[in-house]
């Protein structure tokens, strides 16, 4: 095996280009091994280039080392956009690290209104999951919300099918659509959507569908002030605008995907969130860890 003590610009660019094209970390490591790179050193190189914690990368690639098939990954929408079943979705912003897209027109104004009205009578205080996998009230998350079952209503099913076709991943790889409501002063402090392999909760959270691989946060209204989605690691805040969404993927636990629901200053904020898994999701009790 050839040894590498530094990362050449060419290798760095190849890793970034390959992952942006939709290839998973196991594919990148396999190709590096076929070209003579030491597997252990390759994992360190890929972790550094993609800014991933090495423990999370090792967990992600465990399927490859055991011979089990790799879970699915989403296709990243590209500018200028696409038409899905006659519905025009525009990509107005693209970021490489984390893989992030702002999607305009993902929901119609009427769909936003209808989702809010479907959720309003069923709202409850939203929970988070602690390090041991227990659901709890958390002072960092002060919203209220409701989970819909897959295809629970025609509108829910239509949105799920749209996301499935846009991201090229089956509907059953998604957790149930969650609608969240934030009043003035309410927020969700910085957090990750993926599950940390080093926490005791990792096993229970991933046995029902594997690791989370991507999130779609859809804005159902435009707050009067505040309420954007902040990505502090990259200095980006996505403005909450009715009908638009922010999609972001986090292969292997990308720490640049740290994000927060900023406090609503005036007015209110409604969002619909969809989390996607590498395997079909089969849990009946939803995992509330984002927003």
Regions of the chain where pLDDT drops below 50? 1-5, 63-68, 127-128, 130, 132-133, 135-137, 284, 287-291
Residue for token pair 């998350």:
141
Fold of the domain built from segment(s) 81-277: Jelly Rolls (2.60.120)
Largest distance between two CA atoms of the chain: 62
Grouping H, G, I as helix, E, B as strand and the rest as coil, residue 122 is helix
Determine contact, residues 259/191, Cβ cutoff 8 Å. Answer: yes
Closest to 92 (Cα-Cα) out of 79, 105, 74: 79
Determine contact, residues 116/182, Cβ cutoff 8 Å. Answer: no
Number of residues assigned to the chain: 291
Determine contact, residues 158/264, Cβ cutoff 8 Å. Answer: no
- Across the strands, what pairs with 270? 181
Grouping H, G, I as helix, E, B as strand and the rest as coil, residue 190 is strand
What tens digit of pLDDT does each residue of 90-132 get?
Answer: 999 999 999 999 999 999 999 999 999 999 999 986 644 545 4
The conformation of residue 267, written as its DSSP 8-state character, comes to S
Rg (CA), the chain: 19
Q: What pLDDT was estimated at residue 157?
A: 96
Q: 126 CB contacts (<8 Å, ≥6 apart)?
A: 141, 143, 144, 145, 180, 288, 291
Q: 85 CB contacts (<8 Å, ≥6 apart)?
A: 161, 162, 165
Q: What pLDDT was estimated at residue 283?
A: 67
Closest to 182 (Cα-Cα) out of 249, 227, 242, 233: 227
Q: What pLDDT was estimated at residue 141?
A: 59
Determine contact, residues 46/33, Cβ cutoff 8 Å. Answer: no
Q: How do 229-231 and 81-84 pair as beta strands?
A: unpaired
Q: What pLDDT was estimated at residue 22?
A: 58
Residue for token pair 């502090």:
232
pTM over 0.85, yes/no: no
Instruction: Show me where the domains of the chain are located.
Output: 9-66, 81-277
Two tokens, residue 164: 């499935």
Q: What pLDDT was estimated at residue 36?
A: 85
Q: What pLDDT was estimated at residue 38?
A: 82
Q: How do 128-129 and 245-249 pair as beta strands?
A: unpaired
Closest to 182 (Cα-Cα) out of 254, 263, 259, 79: 263
Tally Cβ neighbours within 10 Å of residue 141: 25
CA distance 85 to 158: 10
- Measured on CA atoms in the order 232, 181, 212, 81, is the torsion positive or negative? negative
With 0-12 CB in 10 A as exposed, 13-18 as middle and 19+ as buried, what is 115?
A: buried
């Amino acid at each position: 095996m050839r040894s590498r003590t530094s990362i050449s610009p060419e290798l760095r660019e190849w890793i970034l280009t390959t992952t942006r094209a939709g290839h998973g970390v196991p594919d990148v490591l396999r190709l590096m091994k076929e070209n003579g790179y030491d597997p252990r050193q390759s994992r360190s190189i890929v972790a550094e280039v993609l800014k991933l914690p090495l423990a999370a990368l090792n967990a992600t690639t465990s399927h490859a080392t055991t011979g089990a098939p790799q879970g699915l990954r989403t296709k990243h929408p590209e500018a200028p956009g696409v038409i899905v079943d006659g519905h025009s979705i525009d990509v107005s912003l693209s970021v490489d690290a984390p893989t992030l897209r702002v999607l305009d027109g993902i929901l119609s104004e009427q769909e936003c209104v209808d989702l809010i009205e479907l959720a309003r009578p069923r709202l409850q205080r939203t929970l988070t999951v602690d390090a041991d996998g227990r659901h709890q009230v958390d002072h960092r998350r002060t919203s209220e919300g409701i989970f819909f079952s897959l295809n629970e209503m025609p509108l829910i099913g239509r949105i799920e099918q749209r996301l499935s076709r846009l991201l090229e991943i089956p509907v059953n790889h998604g957790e149930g659509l969650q609608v969240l409501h934030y009043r003035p002063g309410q927020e969700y402090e910085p957090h990750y959507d993926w599950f940390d392999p080093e926490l005791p909760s990792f096993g229970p959270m991933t046995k029902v569908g594997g690791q989370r691989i991507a999130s779609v946060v859809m804005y159902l209204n435009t707050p009067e002030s505040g309420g954007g989605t902040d990505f502090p690691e990259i200095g980006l805040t996505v403005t909450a605008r009715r009908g638009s969404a922010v999609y972001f993927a986090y292969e292997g636990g990308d720490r640049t995907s740290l994000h927060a629901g900023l406090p609503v200053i005036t007015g209110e904020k409604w969002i619909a969130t969809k989390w996607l898994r590498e395997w079909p999701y089969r849990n009946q009790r939803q995992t509330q860890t984002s927003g």
